[in-house]
Structure 1
Amino acid sequence: MILLTPFFIFLIPFIYFVKFNEVPMLHPEFFALLGSIVIVSLLSSLALYRASWVRLSLALSILIVFSLSFLPEFQSGVPLKIAFFLVLVLAIQLREKTLPFFCMIAGICCMATLVFSVGHQFNAVTISEKPVNSNPDLPPYIHIIFDEYMGVDAIPTNIGQGQALQNEIKTLFPAYGFRLFTHAYSRYSRTYDSIPNLLNFTPKSQDGYYFPGGFSKQILTENKDFELISKMGYKIRVYQPDYIDFCHAKGADYSYCYTYPVYSFKAFYHLNFPWTARYPYLLKSYLLSSFIYQNALYDYVYTIRPLAAKIKIYLPDYPWDQNQLSSLNTLVALEQLKEDVIQHSNDGSAFFAHILLPHSPYIYDENCQIHSNPMDWLINYDFGPQGNTPERRVLRYQLYENQLQCLSKSLKTVLDTWQTTGVMKNAIIIIQGDHSSRLPVISPTIENEGVCSWQDFNDAYPALFAIKAPFYFAGLDNARYSLTYLFGQVSEQISHTQFPIDNNNDFVYLTDAVPGLRVNQVIEPLSAFIAAS
């Protein structure tokens, strides 16, 4: 009984995790993870061996609550505290019957989790289509947002291949007839603010303004851009990750919605990696499903390390704090867009794509080969919202530049194909980023007002903006414009209508360090970044 009880307790979330993520059960890493559960269970059994009923009650309460923290119903502190109290009271009441009772309950829960459906992670592309009338005489309209594609002149020239990359991008876009705005910038450093405000032409000061229902499901129901192009006679084809949902805007005529997963074990298991590389990632992902583990990491990454860094004590980075796979499915989505544009270029379609490249994690090298060790797939920060150490910023920029070079090669293939097939001749094409690389040393948050340098500005806000249209000459434009102003102007020219757009004053918004609190963001003039440098 002393052996079985901890094992059954830890087996419940393990079964849930395996079923929910559809982890292949015949792979060696599955058995390695199960072996880890067995080892932890044995160690827990040793701690319970010959324990007094008080110590046994307390230990079982802790084990059960930690196990519950892996389940979706217990992803906050309140239900876990209630569960701890109830289990502790029950264990004290049962005394010598505590172990048999909880062993039986845990065993029943294991069987129930094994037998009944628990749902599964969104891990495969979904497509929805419906017939929509459109005007086939309209030119193809293609709008691609590459997430974290920083402004060209913001690419640091003192790191890696930065200068060569700047020159390459400045040559690439004009060669295909684009006007490239080298100093374009977003008013926001986060996607959930940048893109919704862009598509509605005027910037709002409230964080998460377009998601009044919260951030659990980010469905953009207000999209003036989609309304506008629908009124022009276009039918809309959307290519998106399962992050922000662009397929349910009011007044928009959708004909097609392609959604690819941000977090997909299936895509991960298609990679030809040895099990010894997959197991640590699987274990890390499992641990990150625990609310208690997440909070312990949150305190270390977001609080303890940044505070220590302020007094020049640099505690070690903890590489087990992220399991993002957001870059992994992006090239497939870009390929799908390329082929669909060719097929539907003459039927009045407008194409909108949100592609999570060169967004972290930095999975690809400059030739679009995947780095073979998933534990080296860094994300874009070292201190959570507090930024990076200077040394880690340099390391991340080198990885970011490689992923950006991969994207440039892929994009060149797309544009070559469209040029060969005649799509480029009449098409209106906008290719842009949504904000910068987000690799600052000091993150542009409200807490850091007046402290961020011009380097931090470049790492947070400047974004790519290039357009090919009959009313723009190919070449470079070195003036400074906000993305919302540029896109508003373009939309007015495309639709031959006028509406309120951004005033292009020189400022950005600083938001709260913790995403999604719906705070009123602070206006920071660009001059403040220069003054702090």
Structure 2
Amino acid sequence: MSIQDETSSDRWLSHCVWIVALWASFFNLLNFNGYPLFRPEVAITMLALALVGGVMALIQQAAKPRLWFLVVALFAAVLVDLNASISAIWFLGCWAIFAVIAFYVREVFVKILFAAAAAVLFFQGAELVLDDGSPREAGNEAQNLQDPDRDRADRPAIVHLVLDSYLGLDGMALGPDIYRDLRSEQVRFFTSHDFQVYPRAYSPYAKTLNSLPALFSYGQDEPVVHSITSEYSIPEQLPYFADLDLMGYRIDALLPAYFDLCVKQKLTRCRTFESSGLSSMLDTEMSATDRAKVFGFTMLNLTRTIRSATGRIRPDPGARLAHNRSELFPLTSLGQFDSFIADVAGLREGEVKFAHILLPHDPYMLAADCTVKPESRWLDEHGPGTAAAREQGYADQVRCLQQRLDRLLDALDRTPAGREAIVLIHGDHGSRIAPTQPFVDGPQLSPRELLMSYSTFFAIRVPGESPGEVPGTHSLGRLMADFRAREFAAAPRPAPAVDQVAVTDAAGTPREWRPLPGFTR
């Protein structure tokens, strides 16, 4: 049968297949995130996808007769990319294979595509309809389990929080005024809760997948090599968690899935969460259209080849990059932090409650009262937008975080084990509000911009020790090493040492050590 002789049913199939396939992919995304079906933002997104599918059908129609098989094969490869995030070489391979099939068995190819998409849509839709909306309980993902029969250590509990992108106090002191005010607020808050703060703490690394293994190894490990685009890491056994285990602590960890401690660390319980969970938008002030935008950019960013091909396309130079516009890191972590606060109500001596929370990490989307700003006002650490606007957004997010920290400390003070617990709170690197991260051959950054990457918050509360500001410039690794030397029972006071920071190549691999810029203006 020639293309010109196609039946009306075949024409209907070829026009609808892309809409059905896009809807099926969207329903799969909703199920993965536990997002309910009957919501206005879902309807808006389905309408937008129907329009996209309609445009694809029109392009397919216009490609007849000679280029039809190439266009259909290209769209089929896009669908594979959307659902499997394939590399460019696999994308081209799929396109070529689909093109051969479509050239020789046109009718069968379209019918198979439609049948497969319709089946996925039906089963994913059925699961969404039957979902009762109850929260999904995270299971214990710890694989290297601590001995469940061993007695807990006769030691004070430890509550250990890593707060991503938390700028140090003397990094804030460099200004502008919004940061200097924030520094004063932070000092008052933490010292009033009996913390010792370390204004000139810093991370030698500006990237999480380098900084966390280093600090958990007391700064003694070789630089960890990760691509700048790494999305998942399983660290080898880290000395910090091994030492806690040897001392008899039971360790309970909560962390984002991309830095997975659950596999090789000795833990009693471990739970991971997706860094950017769509269900975190539920029960917020976000409009249906803003949520639909996040859905759309999430689907774009699920692809790999298409995302790479379109990632730098911005009709408006002042708009955020498309690959950033699906990120909900702080909002997702806010909900996880609330779960962590509820969890510490059962804290007992001899236990460690550890959490890695992506706050005050960008995008800067939360107001100081933790409500969500309109999507048009969200900002990213490296821009676009003025530095002043990004610093204001960052300060808002720190103040939101401080509210949650207040709740955490209140929850701890309500229990005997919590009142006697050692509470350690620190960042993994600075705010990184600069044109770029520090690269060996990258743009020249000012000393203040460099410190925005390295200056890192560090505070500890030890019952019986006086609050205040601890002088000296200290790397996270040295602070953690001295904390270990004191058997995790006293605030660290490391000896002075050479202060150096790592500068990476464009792939994220540390290449050079340079002096830490001074904290004076």
2: CA distance, partners of 1:474 / 1:526:
27
How far residue 503 of structure 1 moved from its aligned partner, in angstroms, is 8.2
The AA in structure 2 aligned to 1:107 is F
Determine the structure 2 residue equivalent to 1:327: 330
Determine the structure 1 residue equivalent to 2:3: none
Determine the structure 2 residue equivalent to 1:113: 120
Determine the structure 1 residue equivalent to 2:193: 176
How far residue 324 of structure 1 moved from its aligned partner, in angstroms, is 1.4
The 8 Å contact of residues 76 and 291 in structure 1, kept in 2 or not, is answered as yes
2:184 corresponds, among 143, 159, 167, to: 167
Determine the structure 2 residue equivalent to 1:476: 469
1:360 corresponds, among 357, 362, 367, to: 362
Determine the structure 2 residue equivalent to 1:83: 94
How far residue 116 of structure 1 moved from its aligned partner, in angstroms, is 5.9
Establish whether residue 240 from structure 1 lines up as the match of residue 255 from structure 2. Answer: yes
The 8 Å contact of residues 54 and 92 in structure 1, kept in 2 or not, is answered as no
TM-score by length of 2: 0.84
2: CA distance, partners of 1:195 / 1:429:
18
Identify if the C-alpha distance between structure 1 residues 71 and 526 changes in structure 2 by more than 3 Å, giving closer, same or farther: same
Equivalent position SS for 1:148: coil
2:427 corresponds, among 412, 430, 433, to: 433
How far residue 125 of structure 1 moved from its aligned partner, in angstroms, is 4.9
Equivalent position SS for 1:109: helix
2:56 corresponds, among 44, 48, 58, to: 44
Establish whether residue 379 from structure 1 lines up as the match of residue 390 from structure 2. Answer: no
Equivalent position SS for 1:430: strand
Identify if the C-alpha distance between structure 1 residues 185 and 297 changes in structure 2 by more than 3 Å, giving closer, same or farther: farther
2: CA distance, partners of 1:50 / 1:285:
29
Identify if the C-alpha distance between structure 1 residues 467 and 259 changes in structure 2 by more than 3 Å, giving closer, same or farther: same
Equivalent position SS for 1:172: helix
- Structure 1 residue ranges without an equivalent (≥5): 306-313, 383-387
1: CA distance, partners of 2:489 / 2:177:
44
Identify if the C-alpha distance between structure 1 residues 89 and 197 changes in structure 2 by more than 3 Å, giving closer, same or farther: same
Determine the structure 2 residue equivalent to 1:185: 202
The AA in structure 2 aligned to 1:59 is V
1:31 corresponds, among 23, 43, 66, to: 43
In the alignment of these two chains, the number of paired residues is 492
The 8 Å contact of residues 203 and 502 in structure 1, kept in 2 or not, is answered as no
2: CA distance, partners of 1:144 / 1:19:
33
1: CA distance, partners of 2:172 / 2:137:
33
The AA in structure 1 aligned to 2:513 is I
The AA in structure 2 aligned to 1:181 is Y
How far residue 424 of structure 1 moved from its aligned partner, in angstroms, is 5.7
Determine the structure 1 residue equivalent to 2:454: 461
Identify if the C-alpha distance between structure 1 residues 153 and 370 changes in structure 2 by more than 3 Å, giving closer, same or farther: same
The 8 Å contact of residues 124 and 260 in structure 1, kept in 2 or not, is answered as no
The 8 Å contact of residues 251 and 353 in structure 2, kept in 1 or not, is answered as yes
**Percent identical residues:** 22
- Structure 2 residue ranges without an equivalent (≥5): 1-9, 129-134
How far residue 485 of structure 1 moved from its aligned partner, in angstroms, is 0.6
Identify if the C-alpha distance between structure 1 residues 271 and 30 changes in structure 2 by more than 3 Å, giving closer, same or farther: same
The 8 Å contact of residues 201 and 502 in structure 1, kept in 2 or not, is answered as no
The 8 Å contact of residues 168 and 457 in structure 2, kept in 1 or not, is answered as yes
Equivalent position SS for 1:447: coil
How far residue 294 of structure 1 moved from its aligned partner, in angstroms, is 1.1
Equivalent position SS for 1:195: helix
The AA in structure 1 aligned to 2:371 is Q
1:400 corresponds, among 389, 394, 401, to: 394
CA-based RMSD of the aligned residues comes to 3.3
Higher mean displacement: 277-286 or 140-149 = 277-286
How far residue 60 of structure 1 moved from its aligned partner, in angstroms, is 2.2
How far residue 8 of structure 1 moved from its aligned partner, in angstroms, is 0.6
TM-score by length of 1: 0.82
How far residue 93 of structure 1 moved from its aligned partner, in angstroms, is 4.1
2: CA distance, partners of 1:426 / 1:264:
34
2: CA distance, partners of 1:247 / 1:158:
39
The 8 Å contact of residues 3 and 41 in structure 1, kept in 2 or not, is answered as no
2: CA distance, partners of 1:468 / 1:27:
45
Deviations 1:21-63 (A, max 9, x none): 3253332333332322332333333334464432223322332
How far residue 140 of structure 1 moved from its aligned partner, in angstroms, is 1.4
How far residue 365 of structure 1 moved from its aligned partner, in angstroms, is 0.9
Equivalent position SS for 2:66: helix
Equivalent position SS for 1:208: coil
The AA in structure 1 aligned to 2:44 is A
Deviations 1:104-139 (A, max 9, x none): 12212213423567999xx94514288452345311
2:307 corresponds, among 294, 298, 307, to: 294
The 8 Å contact of residues 125 and 259 in structure 1, kept in 2 or not, is answered as no
1: CA distance, partners of 2:61 / 2:153:
76
Determine the structure 2 residue equivalent to 1:138: 155
2: CA distance, partners of 1:324 / 1:124:
21
1: CA distance, partners of 2:392 / 2:173:
10
How far residue 447 of structure 1 moved from its aligned partner, in angstroms, is 2.2
